[in-house]
Amino acid sequence: MNILITGARAPVAVEWARIALRSGHRVWLADSLSWPLGRFLQGIEGYLRLPSPRKDIAGYQQTLQGYLNDHDIKLLIPTCEEIFYLSQAFAAYIGPTEWLLPERQLLFELHHKSQSLGLLTGLGEVQTPATRLLTSCGQIVDDPQTILKPVYSRFGRKVIRTPKPGSLNDRQLNERIPWVQQQKLTGTALCNYAVFDHGRLIAHQAYQPKYCFNQAAGSYFVPYQDRRLDDFVHQFGERTGFHGQAAFDFIEQDGVIFVIECNPRATSGLHLLGAQLSIAADGHLHYQPAPTKAGHMGVIVLLFFAGQAWREKQLATLWQDFRQAPNLLSDQRWPIRVGAQWCALLEMGYRSLRYRRPLTDASTFDIEWDG
């Protein structure tokens, strides 16, 4: 079977490609970048360049349609926020390709940091934080026990941790650009990645993220087990009929687990499941349970966190963590070509300088969907 995986910039796209290759399929990777990480994966049929969906949705849809036809693609797997633009493309698509993505309205509701909590309330023993939707600056309350964040954001960007009247102006917060004021939680950060087949849970993995970029995106993942998270994710699938990939961020405070948001797309938890997942000839996903181990994103962990670890006198701990866990990007059968991470990082650095954005912003701004 021919499979197309979008979001080739993401390490999880490489993981999906290896799952497909191991299952005996032919694989193409696609993205709007010049040198995304997945372009350098050995074993794939090729890399397909797409326009930026945020800048040129019509061109994106037209080019994608051409690739699906030209390469007889039977299964399309999204990984990043291009999924929101793919959802628009799917609404107009006529053809044989199966798309691993949920129903359109559900997808967008889960991306919204207020609407999503309504869908997640009452699942198992997991609670949701008190949250108010804001559509004007006058609604902001001076409350140090809360935080402010946009309803559409990623990587913990723009979070205001000590909100008060005047924290935002009318250009930043209005009916077109809503925010939420949410109960402030402190405790252990937990994540859970899951994949569903029309509501049926195929597999999921909870984990603790460590060595986080901007205190948000982890680069080191420690498997975590809790019955409450098992119940939560099963009931989520049953309630919503979700199809595709979903990830959840939690905070455990004083023994209580709170779900704070949902990302209806792939996240790094896939790396902890990848070796046990397979794609059948008919495109259905299968999972063979097996023990999971901690893993990391390679030398980038040392590159980005050595300075901080040295200042905090934790350099020995960082080195020990790095040595005792495997590099999740490494694979002997389908390796990434030497220097690929540096090429991808160089492109991100160039984008960061050219568009005057932080590195994490530069990595996604051309595919972000903010309503």
- Give mean pLDDT, residues 119-133: 96
CA distance 319 to 302: 8
Strand order in the sheet with 188-197: 256-263, 244-253, 188-197, 200-210, 220-224, 295-296
Rg (CA), the chain: 20
217 pLDDT above the threshold of 80: no
**pLDDT at residue 214 in the model:** 62
pLDDT at residue 120 above 90?
yes
Alpha helices, H only, the chain? 11-22, 57-70, 82-91, 104-111, 115-120, 227-240, 270-273, 300-311, 315-324, 340-355, 359-362
> Which among 244, 275, 267 is positioned nearest to 19, based on CA atoms?
275
The rounded percent of the chain whose pLDDT value lies above 70 is: 98
Which of 209 and 365 is assigned the larger pLDDT? 209
- What's the per-residue H, E or C state across 260-301? EEEECCCCCCHHHHHHHEEECCCCCEEECCCCCCCEECCCHH
pTM of the model: 0.92
327 secondary structure, DSSP code: B
For residues 338-350, give the mean pLDDT: 84
Lowest mean pLDDT among 48-52, 138-142, 242-246, 336-340: 336-340
Residue 347 pLDDT: 86
Beta-bridge partners for 197 = 200
Give residues with Cβ within 8 angstroms of 187, minimum separation 6: 251, 252, 253, 254
Whole-angstrom distance, CA of residue 335 vs CA of residue 347: 21
3-state secondary structure of 204: strand
Model confidence at 155: pLDDT above 80: no
31-75 confidence digits (pLDDT tens): 999 999 999 999 999 999 999 999 999 999 999 999 999 999 999
- Which tokens in the block code for residue 335? 């390796």
Residue 344, pLDDT above cutoff 90: no
Q: How far apart are CA 251 and CA 130, in angstroms?
A: 13
| Lowest-confidence pick of 130-134, 216-220, 230-234, 273-277 | 216-220
Look at residue 15 in the predicted model and tell me its pLDDT: 97
- pLDDT for 129: 97
Q: CB within 8 A of 260, min separation 6: which ones? A: 128, 129, 182, 185, 249, 250, 251
Q: Is the pLDDT of residue 216 over 70?
A: no
Average pLDDT of the chain, as a whole number: 92
pLDDT, tens digit, 9 for 90 and up, residues 72-99: 999 999 999 999 999 999 988 888 999 9
